[in-house]
Chains A and B, each alone.
Chain A
Amino acid sequence: MAALTELGPDFYRALRFLVVDDQPAARQGLRICAQTMGAFLVEFSAGYQDAIARIRRAPPDVILCDYQLGGERSGQQLLEELRRFDMLADEAVFIMVTAEQAYEQVVAVVELAPDDYIIKPFSPERLKLRLDRVLRRKRFFQPLYVAKRAADFPAAERFLDESRDTDEGQLHRFELMRQQAEVQILKGDAEAAERVFDEILAAHAFPWARAGKARALVGQNRLQEAREIMDRVVIDAPMYFGGHDLKTQICMDMGDHAEAQRTVEEASRKTERNYVRKRLLADAALLNGDTATAVEAMADVVRNDTTPGAVTVADRLMLVRSLVEAGTLMEAERALDEITPQRLETAGLDERASWQALRALMKPDAERARVAGLRSAWMATPFDAQTRLDIVRAAMALGDRELATAMTHALFASDEIRRVFKVVRDLFEAQGMSPVFRELQRRAALQKISHGDDVPPEAPLQGV
């Protein structure tokens, strides 16, 4: 294998380092290590919030972060937050520093792993060895980062094809294969992605590769097979919480909301401050009819997901929705009032329609005229399933059977009906409209069989 040039002190002198540790003596220790490697620009941060502020202001090239940050915050949470809000470029290096040997098991199963980790104590020489490797890897993958940022899939595939047989490419063979599968998924070629994951699995049954195969199967609508894989993955790798999330999504897609909630609840209990997972828990709980859990999860998100911009209008709407479903209308109104006109201005079409539909659901008489003015535009807009469901609910409250039927028809026409099937069926049943629902279901089935050729969606429905 070709020898790789060592990265000398001059190289390190130009890099901006950030050392994150809540212990002053440990920060000092890491600074000494960084300076021994040749680093000149070394900044400190004493904890989670301060680190985020510093990184936002001036993104460093290298972050050396202790796993324990005090105040129940961990370096892992910091990393996840940085990645969630895209505060770190692909080229930036994040190295976790820890005294815990067991961290290896943590890093093997987290959704977002650091670029590397090092277990204390270590010499500056060892830290440099690890950092050199990460920096060389980043340099090797740089054309891929650029291509992915530009969504230039041909360029990404070209890089992956051309790199595989090079000396350095062999060193990164599995990462190249993983990236190849991810690019295929992004391109929408789930079958090609499945083939690559199979190739990886032939070498070793990594949980992430099994989950990757499951994602590829979901992309081909082979939900049952994906579910079987993930059922096993969450048993074999109980700390692989990303696996729990994927299984939850699959269960929800299959309409098995009870299992979805059970699965995500288990993971959420062990990752209390993961607010992305809390949102998933709220989704699953609400679909499962467990409004108390949905309210609790979303209230936690709105109250405690403190990174600026983290709580969106969609989150606040989810809280309102959960409160309405729980029958606590006063609280729902208060939560709805939190969505100020300024906040609503930043929202998309789906959120605006949901906001209006939820208002109508709470105060049908006051909102009747406004909905009447919007309903034909709503019927013509390709909303997501959640918004359509909000409109179905509002339409039921307003006694607008035609609107409810049109929205449900649109839900049936999309694959998303499985997720909300039971909820919609119950809504129709409560309104004495079960025959209409069955007719919509029958038509959707016929349309599927005949590829939508012979059952025009505008054909009138009996009972509407």
Chain B
Amino acid sequence: MQGVLDILSSGVHDAKNQLFLAETLLVQAEAEHGISLDEARFAIELAALRLSRVLTAYKLQRGLDTLSISMQPVGELLEEAVLINRKHCERLGLSLTVAHQRPVLWPLDRELSLDILSNALQNASRFARSRIVLSAEEREGFLRLAVEDDGAGFDPPPHTAAPRLGVGLFVAREIAAQHQRGGRQGRLSLSNGGALGGAVFELWLP
């Protein structure tokens, strides 16, 4: 099993190295020709994210992944998730705003949480009409990270049927559950409604 993982990991890393080179060549072209290739760069980052996600899913399925928890500034996590997705949302004419004051710090896996939020923001950007809000707050002893949009919501509504679990949601659910603290476990929640009336994606971390 470790052998298969090594081969897969090595392939994914090679591909990501190549994607990094592709992105920097685009950056160079932007500088040389005074043009913006944001969407091309975004597509490259998305491809890399999906590659990583498949690898993470494989590891999770085989119980190989362990989280790396450290005390992280929540504001910085949100800031980075927005930075990754801001230009893409702008191009689609969507406003992406952040609502967060406290908590300042929370124990979590930075890279995986960032991937989950980024994935949720990309999903929201496909369905939102004009607004997406990324928020964080402390509720019931959990950190609640939420992505809400003003689109039509999940179809079918999550409370009427089990959501179809793509790789992204599968990884998000497993990673959430692996966040454990003081006998409590993280979880994912999908619903419709919320303050903006559309889809509500919530990641609850203990």
Interface residues of A (CB under 8 A from B): 1, 23, 25-26, 28-30, 32-33, 35-36, 99-102, 104-105, 107-108, 119-126, 129, 133, 170-171, 173-174, 203-204, 206
Contact = CB atoms under 8 A, between A and B. Distances in A.
B137 interface: no
B20 A204 contact: no
Contacts of A124: 27
Contact of B105 (A35, A102, A171): A171
Interface of B: 9, 12-14, 16-17, 19-25, 27-28, 31, 41, 44-45, 48, 52, 55-56, 66, 68-71, 73, 75-76, 79-80, 83-84, 104-105, 107, 109-112, 181
A123 B23 contact: yes
Contacts of B56: 101
Contacts of A99: 12-14, 16-17, 20
A236 to B, nearest CB: 10
Contacts of A32: 24, 27-28, 31
A123 B111 contact: no
B9 A121 contact: no
A204 B69 contact: yes
Nearest to A204: B107
Among the interface residues B13, B48, B110, which one has the most CB atoms of the partner chain A within 10 A?
A: B13
Contacts of B70: 108, 206
Contact of A29 (B24, B68, B76, B107): B24
Contact of A121 (B19, B68, B75, B79): B19
Contacts of A23: 17
Contacts of A133: 76
B84 A126 contact: yes
A104 B104 CA distance: 21
A122 B20 contact: yes
Among the interface residues A100, A123, A174, which one has the most CB atoms of the partner chain B within 10 A?
A: A123
B2 to A, nearest CB: 12
A29 B111 contact: no
Contacts of A120: 16-17, 19-20, 48
A108 B68 contact: yes
Nearest to B38: A123
Contact of B71 (A29, A107, A203): A203
A196 to B, nearest CB: 14
A100 B9 contact: yes
Contacts of A1: 75, 104
Contacts of B13: 99-100
7 contacts: A26-B17, A26-B21, A29-B21, A32-B27, A101-B52, A170-B105, A203-B71
Contact of B83 (A36, A101, A129): A129
A243 B114 CA distance: 28
A129 B16 contact: no
A121 B27 CA distance: 12
Given A125-B83, A133-B76, A104 B111 contact: yes
B122 to A, nearest CB: 16
A331 B131 CA distance: 77
Contacts of A29: 20-21, 23-25
A102 B28 CA distance: 29
Contacts of B28: 32
Contacts of B25: 29
A141 to B, nearest CB: 15
Contacts of B52: 101, 119
A406 B25 CA distance: 72
A346 to B, nearest CB: 41
A240 to B, nearest CB: 11
B17 A171 contact: no
Contacts of A33: 24, 27
B20 A171 contact: no
Given A99-B13, A120-B16, A123-B41, 11 more contacts: A1-B104, A26-B17, A30-B24, A36-B27, A99-B14, A101-B111, A108-B68, A121-B23, A174-B105, A203-B71, A203-B107
A129 B66 CA distance: 26
Among the interface residues A101, A174, A203, A204, which one has the most CB atoms of the partner chain B within 10 A?
A: A101
- Interchain residue pairs A-B with the least CB separation, the first 7: A29-B24, A121-B20, A108-B68, A99-B16, A120-B20, A99-B13, A204-B107
Contacts of A204: 69, 71, 107, 181
Nearest to A100: B13
A107 B20 CA distance: 21
A427 to B, nearest CB: 46
B79 A129 contact: yes
Contacts of B75: 1
Contacts of B9: 100, 102
Nearest to A167: B104
A219 B1 CA distance: 43
Given A26-B17, A121-B23, A105 B68 contact: yes
Contacts of A203: 71, 107
B16 A104 contact: no
Given A1-B75, A25-B21, A204-B107, A123 B69 contact: no
Contacts of B55: 101
B105 A173 contact: yes
B24 A28 contact: yes
Contacts of B12: 99
